[in-house]
Amino acid sequence: MNPSNIAYLNGLWEVNAMATVLKQVLAWMPFFFGIGFIAPLVAQMMVLWDIPAPFGMSRIAFGLIIGGSWGLVANIRGRWL
């Protein structure tokens, strides 16, 4: 096999590997979305409306529980609501 073919196959492997990683990330996106966006959104809305978190928790910890569990359920059920 000449060097250009090896380079081509290496490139192909890299593209396929990247696509596989991307697909995995996107497959778990609802969960990541729960942690990455819903959690801080919940916490910041609680600050805006001056709502304290229950059980002496910090607002962001409460947001992480809500966002993480909601995202996980959305991932498993395939529905946000």
Partner 1 sequence: MSEQELLARSDAPAADRAAFPLGPDGMDRYTRRDLRKEEIAIARQFHGGAMWPYAVAAFGCFAIWLSFFPLAIMGVLNLPLAFVLSCIFCVGGYVTSHEAMHSNIGRPGTNTRWLNEAVGAVSTIPIVFPFSMARLMHLEHHYHTNHPDKDPDYTDEAPNMWAAWYKTWYNRQPGVDGSIHHYKRILADMGTPEARRALVETMLLQLVFMGTLFTMAWNGYAIEAALIWWLPRHIGLSYIRFFLSWAPHHPREGKTGRYENTNVFKSRVGHILSMGMQYHVVHHLYPGIPNHRTKEAYYALKPILKVRGVDVSPL
> In the complex, which residues of this chain contact partner 1 (CB under 8 A)?
19, 22-23, 25-26, 29-30, 32-33, 36-37, 39-41, 43-45, 48, 74-75, 77-80
6-24 in b/e burial notation, b at 16+ Cβ within 10 A? Answer: eeeeeeeeeeeeeeeeeee
The least CB distance from residue 50 to partner 1, in Å, is 14
CA angle, 81 as apex, 29 and 34 as ends, to 5°?
A: 30
Residue among 55 and 79 whose Cβ is closer to partner 1: 79
For partner 1, the closer of residues 69 and 77 by Cβ is: 77
